Chain A
Amino acid sequence: MEQLVQELKEHLIEELNLEEITPEDIDAAAPLFGDGLGLDSIDALEIILILEKYYGVKLANSAEAKPVFYSVNSLAEYIMQNRK
């Protein structure tokens, strides 16, 4: 799980162009959306792509996925449960 969280942070930084942010800057338990990282609805769609691309996990749409998208930890949990 810890390794997955670290890996997810790296994917988020790379794919969402979070320049000047390091994995250590991201609190895995803190809300992803809102003020912190400045993520928006386009980033949510990009996170869906990350889940598909790296973990083969599909999500229908970002509206259904609100609890999953809460934090890096919740994303990691979802991947653990749904990864094939």
Chain B
Amino acid sequence: MAKQRVDIYLGASAMRTCLGDKAQTLAAMNEGKSGLSYQSAWGMYAGCSQVAAIEGYTRFEAMIIAQIADVVQQSGVQLSDADTQLIISTTKGNVELLAEDCDNIPPRAFLYASAERIAAYFGCVARPVVISNACISGVSAFVVARQMILQGRCRHAIVAGADALCEFITSGFASFKSISPAPCRPYDAQRDGLTLGEAAAAVLLTTDSALADSNIRLAGGAITNDANHISGPSRTGDGLYYAISRAMAEAGVGCDDIGFVNTHGTATRYNDEMESKAVAWAGLDCKPLNSLKGYIGHTLGASGVVELILCAESLKQDYIFGTKGFESSDTPHKLQLSAGAQSIEGRCCVKTASGFGGCNAAVVLDMGAHQGAEIACRGVKQVAEYTLPQSELPFAQFIREQFRTFGQSDMKFYKMSDMSKALYVAVERLLAIEGFGDVEPTRRAIVLANCSASLDADAAHQQILNSHTAEGASPAVFVYTLANVAAGQMCIRHKIQGDNTFFIESADSGTAEQYARTLIATGVADAVICGWCDYLKGNWSVDVKLLKND
């Protein structure tokens, strides 16, 4: 069975970056201006945004609400219409509230609680979908939004991304020694780390061509995992290569159609090196390429959304922005870095992102005539389910005893966060019921949801900041302040190189399973581990299923 694919257009968009609103950001970037400046409070360069306060809302909420309101006003699309879905991309939301009290977690530090407040502001009928997938969150949100629209679950989606900078975040990146001592220099031979930025952005995705902005379509997208390391980029670039090639295949476009590539380009040594390998592998090393981090910094959960909007502007105007900070390259594969603004040919662009947990994502924007390609619709079956039992024992003792029954010495287990340990044991038991050894790694996926995101690890990181200010944060703790890193550990353990998406919701409403079923039905994956995985301060709730194609 196959059904006709609908076209998904990009509509109205809005942003707030350290360079100002969308018009100001575009104007400043056209002049080659950077918004990065030294922030003495954090002892580093960063791009900070001016946010107009909204009474009763946090800074994070105010910055994202303003962008959504702008999109609603421009497009006339209402979130109170059941056909419109709000999708929020953020890594840390209101995490700065933990600084006040990390023993009793403030209710609004929960991502879903903040998302529900934002949704209520606009009178949303559909529950907001929250994606927290480290630095690929924004690009992931487009991939998920696209699937939801293709499945007919909504006609319009507003994808909104934001993260507010605070010491929680800056100290964590500093502990990884990944902050550049000067404004970041993507792909440059002298690059020495990333510069954080702060932004919020929103964009309408719609099936209604009358609401389209210059007929630019979100033509394809894919999420993959390196299955290699939770913080270090792949040595080969294989995960990002799979994401790019799959996104292009889904869009039905070849290298000749691509006008330019906009990468994550964080300016850490290893990230840019990895990207050069992946881009070359995908045959796109002959295409103009840029990174926008030198203008606005790495804006975390907003980055995919902000940068995709800027890519759409480039497609419309037939020229791309330069790569601020870049002078000469030393990446293993020579890329056509756009040092200054340059004109482009080709109706499509590829936008990529990679992040902690080993995740990668790529999407393709296409300004050409619609393709009308057909997508598969396959049957899905559940082949196994496992619920981690509750216990009278304290978690540490319970999970150690569970792990010992496997009779193996995986040294990595004891280094994991408690949530990762709980997931580790549950997935081990699930796959003992039925495995997926016959399924190729790139055809395996893991889709999870929970309520507390990574708040357990967040509280531990905040505790360290409060108690040992001199030594700073612990990288081994900070890396787990991203919920998807638990999924990333499973990707490494079980060689899962396909989709790995983490949703946040107040209780299990089946979001993860629904998305997992879509992945199999549409032929993106052949085996998907999906379900609920939550852990907070000694309480756990883990229920996982294995789905396969029927």
Chain A interface (Cβ within 8 Å of chain B)?
16-20, 37-38, 40-43, 45-46, 48-49, 52-53, 61-62
The answer, yes or no, to whether B177 is at the interface (CB within 8 Å) is yes
B471 near A45 (CB under 8 angstroms)? no
With A16-B415, A19-B414, A37-B411: A49-B474 Cβ-Cβ less than 8 Å: yes
A46 near B177 (CB under 8 angstroms)? no
Q: Which residues of B contact A62 (CB under 8 A)?
A: 177
Kindly identify, within residues 383 to 405 of chain B, every residue whose CB is under 8 Å from any CB belonging to chain A: 400
Q: Which residues of B contact A43 (CB under 8 A)?
A: 415, 476
Instruction: For the A-B complex with A42-B415, A49-B472, A49-B474 known, give 17 more contacts whose Cβ atoms are closer than 8 Å.
Output: A17-B415, A17-B476, A18-B411, A19-B414, A20-B414, A40-B232, A41-B229, A42-B230, A42-B231, A42-B475, A43-B476, A45-B176, A45-B177, A45-B476, A46-B474, A49-B471, A62-B177
The answer, yes or no, to whether B175 is at the interface (CB within 8 Å) is yes
- Kindly report which residue of chain B lies nearest to residue A41, judged by CB atoms: B232
The 0/1 profile, CB within 8 Å of A marked 1, for residues 164-189 of chain B is 00000000000111000000000000
The answer, yes or no, to whether B139 is at the interface (CB within 8 Å) is no
Q: Which residues of A contact B232 (CB under 8 A)?
A: 40-41
B231 near A41 (CB under 8 angstroms)? yes
B177 near A52 (CB under 8 angstroms)? no
- Kindly report which residue of chain B lies nearest to residue A52, judged by CB atoms: B471
Interface hub of B229, B400, B414, B479 (most chain A Cβ within 10 A): B414
How far, in angstroms, from A43 to B476 measured CA to CA in the complex? 7
The 0/1 profile, CB within 8 Å of A marked 1, for residues 474-509 of chain B is 111001000000000000000000000000000000
How far, in angstroms, from A61 to B179 measured CA to CA in the complex? 12
Closest-CB distance, B43 to chain A (whole angstroms): 15
Contacts A/B (CB < 8 Å), 29 sampled? A16-B415, A17-B414, A17-B476, A18-B414, A19-B400, A19-B414, A38-B411, A38-B412, A40-B229, A41-B229, A41-B231, A41-B232, A42-B230, A42-B231, A42-B475, A42-B479, A43-B476, A45-B175, A45-B475, A45-B476, A46-B474, A46-B476, A48-B177, A49-B471, A49-B472, A49-B474, A53-B471, A61-B177, A62-B177
When A and B form their complex, which 10 residue pairs have the shortest distance between CB atoms, in order from nearest?
A38-B411, A19-B414, A45-B475, A17-B414, A17-B415, A53-B471, A42-B476, A61-B177, A42-B475, A41-B232
Q: Which residues of B contact A17 (CB under 8 A)?
A: 414-415, 476
The number of chain B residues with a CB under 8 A from chain A is 20
Chain B interface (Cβ within 8 Å of chain A)?
175-177, 229-232, 400, 409, 411-412, 414-415, 468, 471-472, 474-476, 479
How far, in angstroms, from A43 to B230 measured CA to CA in the complex? 12
Q: Which residues of B contact A46 (CB under 8 A)?
A: 474-476
How far, in angstroms, from A16 to B413 measured CA to CA in the complex? 12
- Kindly report which residue of chain A lies nearest to residue B229, judged by CB atoms: A40
How far, in angstroms, from A49 to B175 measured CA to CA in the complex? 9
Q: Which residues of A contact B175 (CB under 8 A)?
A: 45, 49
How far, in angstroms, from A42 to B478 measured CA to CA in the complex? 10
- Kindly report which residue of chain A lies nearest to residue B269, judged by CB atoms: A63
Closest-CB distance, B179 to chain A (whole angstroms): 12
Closest-CB distance, A21 to chain B (whole angstroms): 8
How far, in angstroms, from A20 to B415 measured CA to CA in the complex? 12
- Kindly report which residue of chain B lies nearest to residue A61, judged by CB atoms: B177
Q: Which residues of B contact A53 (CB under 8 A)?
A: 468, 471
Q: Which residues of A contact B472 (CB under 8 A)?
A: 49
Q: Which residues of A contact B476 (CB under 8 A)?
A: 16-17, 42-43, 45-46
How far, in angstroms, from A40 to B176 measured CA to CA in the complex? 13
Closest-CB distance, B523 to chain A (whole angstroms): 35
